[in-house]
Chains A and B, each alone.
Chain A
C-alpha cells in the first residue's frame, strides 16, 4: 500500500502557514537558500523530475536554461489552468496543501532569479485561487518572500484567473492571456525558456510538478527515485471518474498496474473501456488493464498517461457517443486561429455525431482518420494536434474487434 507523499496532508484540519512549518514545511526552501541557485537546479535535474502536465519535459532542463539566460527579466508561471476533461488533480493538490505548492514556487523563483511570479488559475477554481492568494499573503507577511527577487527585493506573486477557455492552458496561449490578448497559441520555437511571457525567458510548470519540488530539495536528489520506475521516477496523481465506486484523486508510484488504480477507485468488473489521459488521450480496453502506469508502460501499449486522467465506462456505455462528446469538446474549445483545427474539429464533431446516431458509415471512419492526420500534422498547437487521438484509438480498437459487445 503506497503511503501518500504529495497528498500526505490530506485530511489535516487546517492548512495554515504555522501548521505547515510545524509539519516540516519550508525546509526545502531553506535548503535552496543554503546551496544557491545553480546547485538547486542541479538537484532538480538530477532528481529526474519531468513535467506532470502531460508533456513530460525534464523540469531541471527548463530551469537551467532560464537560470543561465542572458536577459535579466525572467518570469515564473504556475500553470493551474487545469481544464482537461476528467482532470482535477491540481485542484485537489492546491486545496490539500497550498503551502507546499507555493513553497515549490518560491524555490523555482529563487533558482531562476525570477523577477515576478504569476499563478494562472482556471476561472472556475475560485476556491483554489482564494487559497493560493491567501497563502501567498501569509508567506509575504511572514517575510518568506523577502530577498527572492533579484536585487534582494521581495517576490511579487500575482494570481490570475482564467476566463473559461481550455486553450489558455496551452502555455503560449496562457502567456497571451496574461498579457491581455486573446488566448491564441504561438509557434514554438521560440520556446518559453527563450521567449515566453512578455517575450522574456520563462519557466512554466504544472501544479503537480511544482508540488514535488520542496521534498526534492529537503530530502535530496535521490529521493524521487525511491518511487516509481527507472525511466519514470516518482509518484503520480491520477484523477479517476466515470463508472467507479469511489471517484477521486489517487496517488500512486509510477509503474503501479492500472488494475491497482481501478481497485482503489472500486471499479466494477464490467468495465467496457477507459479513457486514459483525458480528451486528448486514448481508449484502453480490459486486455490492457495490467498496463504499468508509467510513461514507458503506457507507450508500450500505444497509450498515454497525459495528465493522469482516467474516465471509466461500463458495458452500458455507447463509446461512439463518448467520442461524439469528445468531438464536441474540441470543436467548442478550438480558439479558431488555424484552419485545420477551426474547421477540422467542427467537421470531426459532425462526422462523430453521424457515427453516434448510426447514420455514418465506413466513409465517415475513413474521413475521420484522414482529417485526423491533417489536424495532427498541420495545426499550430497541441489542441488541434491531439483532437483526433482518442477518436482514432477508438476506430483502431473497433478494427481489432474490441468493441464487440
Chain B
C-alpha cells in the first residue's frame, strides 16, 4: 500500500507518494524541471542545482532530485527566485565548460533563458586523457555531476576507481591518485561512460569517429541481442553502421530489468570478434 498525500505545486494540489522525491512528484504532475546530475538508477548527487525549487519554510532553495516529499509541502517552481537560480546555474556552466557534446544541456540552458555571455572568465583547460583503447576522458566537458563516481562506486560497480580530487574550481574527477586508467583500479566496464551526460566520457571508437567527422547517427541501426559471454542474460543494443556493417557502439537499455543500462567490459567492448 502506498501512502499518498497532497502537496501544493505552484498553488495547485497534486498527489505525492511517501518516499518519493519532489522531482518524482513534479514529473508526475508534468511540471517541466531541468536536471543534469540526477539519474534514475543512481543516488542523487544534488550537485548541479538545476532542479531547485522553492519550498515554503526553507530559507534556501531545495534540490528536488534529493528532497523527499512531505505532507502539506508548498512548492513553487515558477517563482522569480527559482527561475533566476536555474538560469544562473546554466550560465555558470556555459562559462566553464565545453558543451559541444552535450546537446541536452544546451537545450535546457536555452529553455532556462541562459545568456552565454553573462559570466566570462577562466574556462576549463584540462586536456584530453586518452590513455587506453576503450574510452577517453575530456574533462573540459565535465560538469562534475558525480554520476561516474557513483556508477563506479557503491551504486553499481563497486570498483571505486573514480573519485573527486581537488577543491573548488580545481575539483575534478580522478582515477586513483591521478593515475592513468590502466594503472588505476578501473575494470573498463564503461558504466561511467553510459551515465555521463555531457560527453566528457566517450567510447574510443565514437570519439575517433567524431574527431574525424565520420560520426553520423542517421546511419546507425540499433540491433537488439542478448550478450553471449555468460548466462546472466544482459540485453545489448548494437549500434551498427548500415553501410559498413560495423558495430560503432554497444549500450544496454536503461529500463532493462537485468542491466538497468549497465554492462561489463566484455558486453560493452568485447565485440571486435564479430568483425574478425
Query: A165 to chain B: which residues have CB within 8 Å?
Result: 167
Q: Mark A346-359, 1 if CB is under 8 A from B, else 0.
A: 11001100000000
For residues 318 through 349 of chain A, which have their beta carbon under 8 Å from a beta carbon of chain B? 331-340, 342-347
Does the CB pair A187–B66 fall under 8 Å?
yes
Does the CB pair A336–B88 fall under 8 Å?
no
B119 within 8 A of A: yes
**Cβ of B110 to closest chain A Cβ, rounded Å:** 17
Cα(A15)–Cα(B234), bound, Å: 68
B251 within 8 A of A: no
Please classify the interface of chain B as helix (H, G, I), strand (E, B), loop, or mixed, using the class held by over half of its residues.
Answer: loop
Cα(A344)–Cα(B169), bound, Å: 9
Q: Mark A144-180, 1 if CB is under 8 A from B, else 0.
A: 0000000000000000000001000000000000000
Cα(A332)–Cα(B166), bound, Å: 11
**Cβ of A194 to closest chain B Cβ, rounded Å:** 13
Measured as residues with beta carbon below 8 angstroms from the partner, the interface class of chain A is 20 to 34
Cα(A346)–Cα(B121), bound, Å: 8
Does the CB pair B96–A182 fall under 8 Å?
no
The answer to whether residues A339 and B143 also contact, given A377-B52, A378-B49, A385-B60 and a CB cut-off of 8 A, is: yes
Does the CB pair B169–A336 fall under 8 Å?
yes
Does the CB pair A336–B89 fall under 8 Å?
no
The answer to whether residues A377 and B60 also contact, given A339-B89, A346-B121 and a CB cut-off of 8 A, is: yes
Interchain residue pairs A-B with the least CB separation, the first 5? A336-B171, A374-B88, A334-B168, A343-B92, A378-B85
For residues 92 through 134 of chain B, which have their beta carbon under 8 Å from a beta carbon of chain A? 92-93, 95-96, 118-119, 121-122
Residue among B66, B88, B95, B118 having the largest count of chain A Cβ atoms under 10 Å: B88
**Pick the contact of B167 from A334, A338, A370 — CB < 8 Å?**
A334
Does the CB pair B169–A187 fall under 8 Å?
no
Does the CB pair A378–B168 fall under 8 Å?
no
A45 within 8 A of B: no
**Pick the contact of B49 from A339, A346, A347 — CB < 8 Å?**
A339
A371 within 8 A of B: yes
Q: List 12 A-B contacts (CB under 8 A).
A: A182-B163, A187-B46, A333-B168, A340-B85, A343-B92, A343-B93, A367-B119, A370-B84, A374-B89, A377-B52, A377-B60, A378-B52
Interface residues of A (CB under 8 A from B): 165, 182, 187, 331-340, 342-347, 350-351, 367, 370-371, 373-374, 376-380, 385
Does the CB pair A379–B60 fall under 8 Å?
yes
Q: Mark B67-82, 1 if CB is under 8 A from A, else 0.
A: 1000000000000010
B22 within 8 A of A: no
Cα(A377)–Cα(B60), bound, Å: 5
Query: A346 to chain B: which residues have CB within 8 Å?
Result: 121-122, 168-169
**Pick the contact of B60 from A337, A339, A350, A378 — CB < 8 Å?**
A378
Query: A345 to chain B: which residues have CB within 8 Å?
Result: 168-169
Does the CB pair A342–B171 fall under 8 Å?
yes
**Pick the contact of A377 from B81, B121, B171 — CB < 8 Å?**
B81
Query: B62 to chain A: which residues have CB within 8 Å?
Result: 187
Does the CB pair A347–B84 fall under 8 Å?
no
B218 within 8 A of A: no
B144 within 8 A of A: yes
B47 within 8 A of A: yes
Query: A331 to chain B: which residues have CB within 8 Å?
Result: 168-169
Query: B171 to chain A: which residues have CB within 8 Å?
Result: 335-337, 342
**Pick the contact of B89 from A187, A340, A351 — CB < 8 Å?**
A340
**Cβ of A384 to closest chain B Cβ, rounded Å:** 9
New contact pairs (8) apart from A338-B46, A338-B47, A347-B95, CB-CB < 8 Å: A334-B169, A340-B92, A343-B169, A346-B169, A373-B84, A374-B84, A378-B52, A378-B60
Cα(A342)–Cα(B49), bound, Å: 12
Cα(A373)–Cα(B118), bound, Å: 14
**Cβ of B123 to closest chain A Cβ, rounded Å:** 10
